[in-house]
Structure 1
Amino acid sequence: MAMTIQAWKVETAALLKGAGLEGTPDLDARLLLQQVTGFDQAKQILFFDKVLTDAQLDSLTSLRKVRLSHKPMAYILGRREFYGRDFQVDERVLIPRSDTETLIEAVLAFAKNKTDTPSIIDVCTGSGCIGITLALELGSAVTLTDLSEGALAVARENARRLVSRPLTFLHGDLLSPTDKKYDIIVSNPPYLTASWCDEVAFEVQWEPRLALEGFSLDGLELIRALVAQSLDHLAAGGALFLECDYRQAETVKQLLVSSRFTNVRIEKDLAGRERVVWGVLACTNS
């Protein structure tokens, strides 16, 4: 049976809604169609009555089946936009989220008051979206670390595509792979509790648990370790920036306050939820 572009989009959006994928069914249908046909939104409107070929329908049916299994669109398309740039992603890395752009904004605001270009290390880099974005926005020397070799492979590929100069990649746990000091340590580490991980939406369950679960009852085991390690890896007047869950922000703030950090602040994301905690390491003579 012949199927036009418009008919396929309508049918697909309805199926997605029926499967509980009610967030952006029309957008998902359009992007799936674009993935197979190469037609952007304008062409899909212009050629709404164009009949899809059998080969196109077969490919679209396969992609739609995967989406109906709640696989995230970012993994199906192999990319996700972050801070205005397309980053390649797959199941080895966490999908970049707009909430994390709050982390970028906080670092940029701190860095603009510096006379020199700050050195930066992005811990638990995943796709590299944070470190690469900061390298591009600030022109900084950036080091990216991750415990996952697979994640580092994705980050390296994103850096190769987006950055015209080499960045440093280190494999290991948190700050353990480096003996250097940095002006800025930034991280979106795993911070969900085990129960929070079990409660997340079907789509999030496709993402690597290693990049989600922070361990310990409150999910802050890795953040505690990172705060402790940062004391030996921040230059004078350097700052630590951490993303966490809004339910943890006050605890993380107190953790920084009790660990020689000053001017500790909590930044809210676009949804108004406390998302980023950061502070400047106090200079001491000891």
Structure 2
Amino acid sequence: MKFNPSMRQITIREALLQAGRDIGDIEARMLLQHVLNVSQAYLIVHCEQALTADQARSFRLLTGRRTHGEPVAYLTGRREFYSLDFTVTPAVLIPRPETELMVDLALAQIPPGLSCKILDLGTGSGAIALCIAKHRPVAEVTAVDFSADAVAIARTNAKQLNVGNVRILEADWFNGLAGEKFNLIVSNPPYVAAGDSHLTQGDLRFEPRMALTAGGEGLDCLRSIIASAPAHLVAGGVLLLEHGYDQAEICRQLLSEAGFGDVFSHPDLAGIMRVSGGSLIVS
């Protein structure tokens, strides 16, 4: 997007038209809403309002960064997930619509009003843990992440969303949870293969690599969680894992070998097997 320096009084409508040619109408609108701190309706109603020089400059800088690939979520610092508004930075993955399936499946395991203990491994922004905690206020939710920066962001989100029934810890998977058992464990761990071409495309280029990749085939974290989870689940407790498009079969095999029954995989809205899980068999 290019502005003529003399055009200091560009209107909202003109700014959106110019930016829309470079980054698309939807993203242009999202960025201008961020710059002006207004709603979409405001942009429509006040389309002839002139931008100040500072507003035009800020919008130009953001749209320029977007044309170079930076994710809109990182440019605005916000992302909606499960109808909640989350703070995000380049220190955490951007919550994605397909991961909402994990929340759906987790909530299906927890009747409203049931007091239980839930663990979210690799919580990142806290999206999964906080959505579960928000919808099941009597549950005790623990959220863990290896990254101190991610833990700080998750705690910020918990405060902003007024979620009090969550404990957020800095730890490497189950480390720091010795002796604790949970009714439900959920995780969206790194699962992208190290050489996957998607890592050089789109938003993934800007997201934290350690939150995306795990070993040559992307299975290291999944294997580790499945192997360790039985020691931290009550009898009949459930483990749910998000994984890659081609990892459902191996995840089901690993779950069965680790002592889980009723093993399943569930597709996301695109029909891709996205979450696998099972319940710990009572011995």
Fold shared, TM-score > 0.5 on shorter chain: yes
Aligned mates of 1:62, 1:281 — CA distance in 2? 52
- Residue 111 of structure 1: SS of its match in structure 2? coil
Identity among equivalent pairs (%): 38
Q: Tell me the CA shift for residue 35 of structure 1.
A: 1.3
Summarize the Cα distance change of 1:275–1:88 in structure 2 as closer, same or farther, 3 Å threshold.
same
Q: Tell me the CA shift for residue 205 of structure 1.
A: 1.0
Aligned mates of 2:129, 2:203 — CA distance in 1? 25
Aligned mates of 2:135, 2:113 — CA distance in 1? 15
After TM superposition, what 4+ stretches of structure 1 lie above 4 angstroms from structure 2?
197-200
| Structure 1 residue aligned with 2:75 | 76
Q: Tell me the CA shift for residue 118 of structure 1.
A: 2.1
| Structure 1 residue aligned with 2:185 | 185
Aligned mates of 2:257, 2:72 — CA distance in 1? 41
Q: Tell me the CA shift for residue 38 of structure 1.
A: 2.8
| Structure 2 residue aligned with 1:263 | 262
| Structure 2 residue aligned with 1:13 | 20
Q: How many residues align?
A: 274
| Structure 2 residue aligned with 1:108 | 107
| Structure 2 residue aligned with 1:92 | 91
Aligned mates of 1:15, 1:165 — CA distance in 2? 42
- Contact 1:5/1:44 (<8 A) preserved: yes
Gap regions ≥5 residues in structure 2: 1-6
After TM superposition, the score normalised by the length of structure 1 is 0.92
After TM superposition, the score normalised by the length of structure 2 is 0.93
Gap regions ≥5 residues in structure 1: 17-24
Summarize the Cα distance change of 1:109–1:47 in structure 2 as closer, same or farther, 3 Å threshold.
same
Aligned mates of 2:242, 2:52 — CA distance in 1? 46
Question: For residues 5-24 of structure 1, what are the alpha-carbon distances to aligned partners after superposition, in whole Å with 9 as ceiling and x for unaligned?
Answer: 111111101122xxxxxxxx
Aligned mates of 1:170, 1:50 — CA distance in 2? 47
- Contact 2:78/2:85 (<8 A) preserved: yes
Summarize the Cα distance change of 1:164–1:105 in structure 2 as closer, same or farther, 3 Å threshold.
closer
| Structure 1 residue aligned with 2:116 | 118
| Structure 2 residue aligned with 1:213 | 213
- Spell out the pairing of 1:208-247 with structure 2 (5 A cutoff): 208-215=208-215, 217-247=216-246
| Structure 1 residue aligned with 2:135 | 137
- Contact 1:197/1:213 (<8 A) preserved: no
- Contact 1:67/1:73 (<8 A) preserved: yes
CA RMSD of aligned residues (A): 1.5
